[in-house]
Amino acid sequence: MQSRGEKIGMLEKYAWGAPMAGAVLTIYTLIGKAVVGRTEFDFFTPLDDFIPYWPWTVWCYFPFYVIIFNLIALAIPTRDTLFRTLRSIAYAFVVCCISFLAFPSTFPIPPIPAATHPWNAELLTFIRGLDVPNNTFKSSHVALSFACALGIFRGNRRWGTVALVLAACLAVSIVTTKHHYVIDGIAGLALGFAAYRAGFWTAREKTKSYEL
């Protein structure tokens, strides 16, 4: 019988991760449709108005999110670390779903500036059509990406550092593309770290890992 601490192949990582990614996307979309129009909470602050609108940072938004989760397959070395990382992501997502239902809010997304480069405008338009306009607090993109990146760092410092940099850029992009309130990103960051700690709370590493 294989140990959870033994090495794990890339195909097996996708076999565990892909169904979870599909479930997250499905549930996220269903909740977004269920609470659409229920803008009961406004988290706008003067800081949201102060932050510039940089459409080009859309390339740090959805693309980086996808890359971070694919780094799991490349970098996480053991079954134990994989399962604990997936557990961390699940914890973060459950809390986000509860928050979406308890604190429904929608960010007033402004129109794309006329001077925006066509490539940036096309990606922004695509993402706005793909993503629901609500489900803002807390930012699940930030929470899940940081929970994932920290799990990667736990097993592979080099690729984990890359994942954390990507997650940080993503966290900035949610406000510079005017998709989220500032508080959404801050809460998402805190939740991602808390979920990571919860997922690895009882970790007893059988192979070399990096503490955080």
Q: Give the tens place of pLDDT for each residue, 30-79.
A: 998 888 777 777 888 999 999 999 999 999 998 999 999 999 989 999 99
pLDDT in tens, 159-197: 999 999 999 999 999 999 999 999 999 999 999 999 999
Q: Is the pLDDT of residue 22 over 60?
A: yes
pTM of the predicted protein model: 0.88
CB 171 within 8 A of CB 137: no
How far apart, in Å, are the Cα atoms of 1 and each of 5, 6, 9, 12, 107?
12, 11, 16, 16, 50
